Structure 1
Amino acid sequence: MGLKLAAAALLLCAGVAQAAAPVYGYKVKRSFPHDPTAFTQGLFYRNGILYESTGLNGRSSIRKVALETGKVLQRIDIPEQYFGEGIAPVGNALISLTWTSQTGFVFDIDTLKPRGSFSYQGEGWALTTDGERVYMSDGTAYIRVLDPNTMQVQRRIRVSADGSPLTQINELEWVDGEIYANIWQTSRIARIDPFSGQVRGWIDLTGLAEQAGIKQGSDNVLNGIAWDAAQRRLFVTGKLWPRLFEIEVVKR
């Protein structure tokens, strides 16, 4: 019995070793103007409009943006003592995070008028939603699952890639049952299983910054993912990028 168990364990380990997350490439389908002064922190698409949050103290804002032109249609500034972070829609509200202030804000999603605030522990990096729950990144290897009504933590997802914890999880987007996540200071998007926390695959966007017409520096890295579920369009951009792209994920 012991030998059989040992053999089974070896086979299992061999299977795990062979199950490295696949890496996908991309094809640019369209390119759109994007505000090059926008330090993009959060992004989502809803009813034909891009919603975007920007960061930096004194420059943080929540915006509605026209996709085709990049024109800011509506904007509300975050008080300068806060460093704005990710956003997500919850019903007729828009919720936003701040980086180190442990304070989040609630806005009317149509008018962007403030409706309230909430508190949380630790840092705030990004938000997304599956329509029933809210998912929050905080820079660690854990994604918090929040009750959308109370913003209280229901559980935590430990994210791992090929068996190792994955940290620096930044901007989030819910795409076809997976959480897509920018990984800070990289050109990769992780495709995360929201139940097991395992990375199912990577999207390698190497070269996209150059296509945006910029030389990638320490701050103007890839950040911002939006999914148009109705038309199945995936949009990405970066901090201080002058372009936003619609891309198609392709097998290598």
Structure 2
Amino acid sequence: MKLLVKAPAKINLALDVLGKRNDGYHEVKMIMTTIDLADRIELVELEEDAIKIISHSRFVPDDNRNLAFQAANLLKKRFNVKKGVAISIMKAIPVAAGLAGGSSDAAATLRGLNKLWDLKLTIDELAEIGSEIGSDVSFCVYGGTAVATGRGEKIQHIEAPPHCWVILAKPTIGVSTADVYKNLSLEDIKHPDVDGMVEAIKGQNYFKICDLVGNVLEDVTLKLYPEVAHIKEQMKKFGADAVLMSGSGPTVFGLVQHESRMQRIYNGLRGFCEHVYAVRLIGERNTLE
């Protein structure tokens, strides 16, 4: 039996850090929403009791460092599954980009194997298991739009933002999330209005959403990586309605309502940036088939 599952990327419309936790993680409050840029995960059942990762990108590990491998391994052990699976990962989301590509691959693997192995788990149970793999995996199991708290694993669903274009640009650098958090000064944070953003989304107020985007990690990454600052400046100059870095970076996204302006910004960025994408917001939750 074979299954194909989509693994969409996410962006952070707001990302706030509230403090350091005893477990070494940071307490966060953020709004995440899915976008129409997705990896494809193909799951093929194996008779042999093994997990095989088939990676089509040299930047994606094919061993137990891979989050999709960890997802499959966790399900196998917890539910005593004696069959194996080959997991083929076809990347469209850039790697180490602040778009939760690895987490979304793991979440898609959980959803797919639930069906392939007939585990009959609910989406809430899958999200709970996902939280053991990584902070963003719970959200990626659900998809849609949500306020995430704790270390990112506590999910409160909200409605999708109004439809618009999302332009993404990623410089050819990697960003260490650990380094970004290490350089974050909790005393100097200018906290974004996350609650105001929730109300703006509920009211479908596109321009209010654009006014309220904010990410406390952005200042740190912009100082450490000037390439990211350059992309942000150019995207603003080309006329995006809102511009923000996603996650710990280095991807910068811009929100645009009109297709003609989206095309102009896309073309402008392609002049100096290799990884540029123009996609739509999805913002709708996943369902288990």
For Structure 1 versus Structure 2, the TM-score category normalised by the shorter chain is under 0.3
| Structure-2-length-normalised TM-score | 0.24
> Could you say which structure has the higher helix fraction?
2
Q: Does 1 or 2 have the higher relative contact order (CA < 8 Å, sep 6+)?
A: 2
| Structure-1-length-normalised TM-score | 0.26
> Could you say which structure has the higher strand fraction?
1
